[in-house]
Amino acid sequence: MKTEFEKMRSEELYNFSDKEINTSLRHAKDLCTRLQTLTLSSPEYRDVIEKLIPNFPKSSGICPPFHCDHGSGIRIGERSFLNYNCVILDGACVTIGNDVKIGPSCQLLTPQHPINYKERRGTCETSFPITIGDDTWLGGGVVVCPGVRIGKRCIIAAGSVVIHDIPDDCMAAGNPAVVKKHLNE
C-alpha cells in the first residue's frame, strides 16, 4: 500500500495533512527561510540550496527570495537560472531542463484541488508534474499550471498563464497562453 507521500508523487489523490508530507513541508520551509537571508555569493548559499534541492547543479542558481513546498521534487538542469521571488509547489515533480531562464515572480504549481466544492473542503488533492524543456525562457510573472509540459527552445511571454502543453520551438503569450509563433524555422 502506498504512503500519502508516494500517492502525491504518483498523481493520485492524497491527504496533504499526512505526517510525512508535513515533515517534508516543514523541512523545506525552514531551508527557504534560511535562504531568504542569503545571496548567490554568500558562503552558506550552496550548502542551503543543496539541502533544499538534492543534486542542484553547481552551474545553476536561484536568487532568493525563493519558496517551494518540498524541494525534493525539483530537478534543475545545468546552467539554469531562476530570478527573484519564484515559487515552485512541488507536490509532483518539477523538471527544469538545461540552460533555462526563469524570470522574477514566476510560479510553477503542481497541486490540483478537487473540482467538487464539498470535496475541496477536505485535505485531499492531486498533483501533476511540470516539465520545462532545455533552452526555454519564461518571462517575469509567468504561471505554469499543473500537468503542463513546455517544450525545448520556447519563450513564454511575461505575465502568461500556461494551462496547456506548449510544443518545442514556440513563443506563447496570454491568459491562457497560446502559441503566437513558431521559432527557429
Label residue 105 left, alpha or beta by phi (over 0 means left) and psi (-120 to 50 means alpha). left
Residues acting as catalytic residues: 113
Distance CA 139, CA 152 (A): 15
Strands 124-127, 155-156: parallel, antiparallel or unpaired by DSSP?
Answer: unpaired
Give alpha helix (H) positions in the chain: 4-9, 19-35, 45-52, 117-120
